[in-house]
Structure 1
Amino acid sequence: MQDNILHHEKIPKLFLTFCIPAILSMLIAGMQTMIDGLFVGNILGSNAMASINIAAPFMQLILGLSMVVSVGTQSYMGLRIGEGNVSKAQNTFKTFIIFIVIAGIIITILGIGFNEQIALFLGASDVLKESVCLYIKTISMFTIPMAIMFLFGFSNRLIGHPDLYFKGMLLSLVCNLFLNYILIAKLDLGIVGAAIATGMSYSSALLMVSHPLFSKKSTINVFSGTFDQTTILPVLYNGSSEGICSLSAAISAYIFNMAFMNIAGESGVAAFTAINYIGQFGVYVLFGISDGIGPIISYSYGGKLYHRVKEALKLSYFVGLGIGSLVFMTLFFFGQTFIEWFIKEDPQIIHLATQGAKLYSIAFFMNGFNIINSGYFTFIGEALKSVLIASSRGFIFILLGIICLPKLLGLNGIWLTIPFAEFVTVILGILLLRKKVSN
């Protein structure tokens, strides 16, 4: 059934069918962090919030590995199914179930047995060390179900169930609200309760995304196939841009914090944080578009339906530009209103953030093109180009901009660093696309 849908259904209908659930899933994932922060910050206090922030890289290790495997597996399987090589796709699925279980066991052992060493490595102070250790130990126990949930959710898109991942994330959001309230507010389980709420909420989505893959009638299922070690490196390589995105985001956030601290102090950091909260929702939508077109691109490319690849890509660019323009207008004309959701009592920061938002918002005319391009090259199996785009917009040109622009433009130079990085990456992306067409 899914083969027929991806092969014959009109691209605009496929776009809506696949992209809307993907966009909503990304938005829900963004809300999860905010919910955790509200409960922990308001009930457990600043030390607990700091402990979770220090433990965040360990959590990112779990999520990053999950996304590398899930995106890489989905793209590789989509190409193989499009080529008609269903057995290779099935072997890939079976291989990475086994891979996740083995990797998950290793991460769990590290979290339980070496949490103190990990906490110290991540910079936990004597005051926070115990809480950081508890969080790492607890969240590590959920590594395997969380990782399998992402793999199953992304794989469902290839067998006719693009909505299940969204439904699973929606269930996860509801569970996160409920469990945070019960475990933290009512049972007073503290930092352990916060970790359990996060782990169980993501794991609960596994109940939603599993059932099609336990049917032997599905093109891809947990019963068929054999372990195929030849698929491991291609899948991890193809999904590596997801890991680069996570790493670049962490590094660039550090760079911006240091730059704002040097020029504008704590007010500058607070202003950037407020704007980033707003801008990230636009970025989540754009990443949702990129995720959503993945099965369409990989299947069509594998089946040599290149006209459908071009049609899906053009439609994605058009919608991405529309979304980016909407975010630009929101930040440019109504930035102060949204900033005051996060900052109410400091006029200096509000003014700084409002002026900065007008410059920062320029990036949204371009980042949709770059995000979609990075995803496109992943979905057709050209991971190096995807990594090049992801690292260029997320790290390389941000580092170059943050070194040069503030010297020329002062504080405005920092705000313009992201638009600068996106603009240069657009040029790079056009060159890579032209080279691809010429080949």
Structure 2
Amino acid sequence: MKKFKLDFLKYISLNILSMVGVSIYILADTYFISKALGAIGLAALNFSIVIFTLIQGVGLMIGIGGAIDFSIRNYERSNSGNESFMNALLIGLLFAVIFLLLGVFFSTQVSLFLGADELTLPPTETYLTTILGFSPFFILNNIVLAFVRNDKNPRLAMTAMVVSSFSNIILDYVFMFPLSMGIFGAAFATGLSPIISLSILIFHFRSNSVGFHLCRCKMELKRLMKIITLGFPSFVTELASSITLFTFNIVILRIAGNIGVAAYGVIANVAIIATALFTGLAQGIQPLVSNYFASSDKDGLRTILKYSLITSLVLSATIYFVILAFSNNIVSVFNGENNETLATIAGVGLKIYFTGYIFAGINIVIISFLSAASNTVNAMAISILRSSVILIPTTLIMSFFFEIYGIWASFMVTELSVTILTYLTHLSLQRENTQLSAYTKG
């Protein structure tokens, strides 16, 4: 039990630090853009983050799906870790080509679709084009990070993410202020971040015990589909954030204009930190859950789930306390123009919106747990409920009756509804299993 606790703490702490490191560079973009470009820059960034989140989601899907396949095959001693890695790289390449084509030929259309108008279109298009141009590196970085983490080297994965994130913050400042590169400088600094991370991760391949490397391997359609299936819940988790951003942007634009979108930009970027904490927890338990599942250790799986849910509740309580205590200070950091409307909308919004993380944290952990245990159907069902089926109608209905306050509250209502449905489904399955067991014995 002592070893279990040490492994649990080791994996979740390193992964939480890693994910917070990643989210900090988005926060740095927000801070520097707010100082250099004001509310219009913030609104443009908020439109663009929808696509950035989508790119990250694709990278996580392929990386985590491939890494789960890698871990299970390693436990089975099938010696096919290289095939898992090479198949993941092939899928990543295909998606990277799609994102590159979007950036080269359709950045204007994508920017307009996301909600940009005549004021926000130029900075939105610039940021999007640059980020889409670096999409192959974002995807490759997520793939290599997941494999390195599952190859028993979570410390190097954390180091790569933290160093690249802090490098991005420094480059953000240099590009936007001394070099006056504007929003392009912010996007360019963000694009360089995965390249810095990959340059650190390359040290993993110098080890004699590395479990995967580049090779000529047979590409199997069945393996490709399995990797996507195993990682799809992780993609939908990120997709939920992307759809939330998009839906909120469009509805807020109608109710409160670009200032409202800028205010939501503050909330959304602080929310990225909160999401990173829970995503780090979820990614941290993934290798442990995969190993216990492969060895059919039900007691180990129950213990991991218990510890993970308790950790999630502690994190959510801590986050909400910080928001209540420092919401005005947080908003003022990103309100360089001292816009009173922006300050009011964002200040109230933070306090309402972040109640949802009490339940969002639980849902993110459950999705990761089910996915790592190869229960992808239920994991995807929960993810889809969060990302669209409940979220979109809830946002539209609540914004109609309560306007901007309804938008903030819709996130909490969505996450609470998903948690309740998940719990009721769990109880129903338990009753069915109990009845089946009694019937079999009878």
- Structure 1 residues 330, 133: closer, same or farther in 2, change over 3 A? closer
Residue 306 (structure 1) aligned to one of 298, 311, 327: 298
Residue 28 (structure 2) aligned to one of 26, 35, 43: 35
1:392 shift after superposition: 2.1
AA paired with 2:390?
A: F
1:211 shift after superposition: 2.5
CA offsets 1:228-249 (integer angstroms, 9 cap, x no match): 3321112112222233233332
1:132 shift after superposition: 5.7
1:301 shift after superposition: 0.5
Q: Are 2:287 and 1:295 aligned?
A: yes
Question: Which stretch has the larger CA shift, 328-337 or 384-393?
Answer: 328-337
1:178 shift after superposition: 3.2
- Structure 1 residues 105, 364: closer, same or farther in 2, change over 3 A? closer
Residue 242 (structure 1) aligned to one of 234, 237, 240: 234
> Counterparts of 2:119 and 2:251 in 1: how far apart (Å)?
28
Aligned twin of 1:381:
374
- Structure 1 residues 280, 248: closer, same or farther in 2, change over 3 A? same
Q: Are 2:17 and 1:17 aligned?
A: no
Question: Which stretch has the larger CA shift, 224-233 or 112-121?
Answer: 112-121
5 Å-filtered alignment, 1:47-66, equals 55-66=48-59
> Counterparts of 2:48 and 2:402 in 1: how far apart (Å)?
36
Aligned twin of 1:208:
200
Q: TM-score, normalised to structure 2's length?
A: 0.82
Q: TM-score, normalised to structure 1's length?
A: 0.83
5 Å-filtered alignment, 1:29-428, equals 29-43=22-36, 55-82=48-75, 84-112=76-104, 115=107, 135-213=127-205, 215=207, 217-223=209-215, 226-257=218-249, 259=251, 272-343=264-335, 345=338, 354=347, 356-405=349-398, 413-428=406-421
- Structure 1 residues 272, 212: closer, same or farther in 2, change over 3 A? closer
- Structure 1 residues 50, 370: closer, same or farther in 2, change over 3 A? closer
- Structure 1 residues 224, 428: closer, same or farther in 2, change over 3 A? farther
1:251 shift after superposition: 2.8
AA paired with 2:162?
A: L
Q: Please give the secondary structure, in 2, of the residue aligned with 1:227.
A: coil
- Structure 1 residues 74, 360: closer, same or farther in 2, change over 3 A? same
Question: Which stretch has the larger CA shift, 240-249 or 306-315?
Answer: 240-249
AA paired with 1:283?
A: T
Contact 1:279 1:327 in 2 (8 A): no
- Structure 1 residues 43, 239: closer, same or farther in 2, change over 3 A? same
> Counterparts of 2:358 and 2:40 in 1: how far apart (Å)?
39
1:386 shift after superposition: 1.5
> Counterparts of 1:70 and 1:141 in 2: how far apart (Å)?
20
1:64 shift after superposition: 2.6
Contact 2:115 2:249 in 1 (8 A): no
> Counterparts of 1:53 and 1:410 in 2: how far apart (Å)?
20
Q: Please give the secondary structure, in 2, of the residue aligned with 1:210.
A: helix
AA paired with 1:12?
A: K
- Structure 1 residues 133, 418: closer, same or farther in 2, change over 3 A? closer
Contact 2:57 2:234 in 1 (8 A): yes
Question: Which stretch has the larger CA shift, 243-252 or 295-304?
Answer: 243-252
> Counterparts of 1:117 and 1:399 in 2: how far apart (Å)?
23
- Structure 1 residues 119, 255: closer, same or farther in 2, change over 3 A? closer
- Structure 1 residues 351, 55: closer, same or farther in 2, change over 3 A? closer
AA paired with 2:232?
A: S
1:194 shift after superposition: 3.6
CA RMSD between the two structures? 3.5
> Counterparts of 2:48 and 2:114 in 1: how far apart (Å)?
7
> Counterparts of 1:316 and 1:274 in 2: how far apart (Å)?
29
CA offsets 1:30-57 (integer angstroms, 9 cap, x no match): 2111222333443467766666555545
1:407 shift after superposition: 6.5
* Runs of 5+ unmatched residues, structure 2: 434-442
Contact 1:301 1:309 in 2 (8 A): yes
> Counterparts of 1:357 and 1:46 in 2: how far apart (Å)?
17
Higher relative contact order (CA 8 A, sep 6+): 2
- Structure 1 residues 407, 149: closer, same or farther in 2, change over 3 A? closer
Q: Please give the secondary structure, in 2, of the residue aligned with 1:416.
A: helix
AA paired with 1:329?
A: F
1:121 shift after superposition: 5.9
Q: Please give the secondary structure, in 2, of the residue aligned with 1:283.
A: helix
Q: How many residues align?
A: 431
Aligned twin of 1:3:
none
- Structure 1 residues 41, 360: closer, same or farther in 2, change over 3 A? closer
Q: Please give the secondary structure, in 1, of the residue aligned with 2:177.
A: helix
Percent identity for Structure 1 against Structure 2: 22
- Structure 1 residues 413, 75: closer, same or farther in 2, change over 3 A? same
Q: Please give the secondary structure, in 1, of the residue aligned with 2:172.
A: helix
* Runs of 5+ unmatched residues, structure 1: 1-7
CA offsets 1:185-242 (integer angstroms, 9 cap, x no match): 3444455444332221221100112222454532233348543332111211222223
Contact 1:81 1:299 in 2 (8 A): no
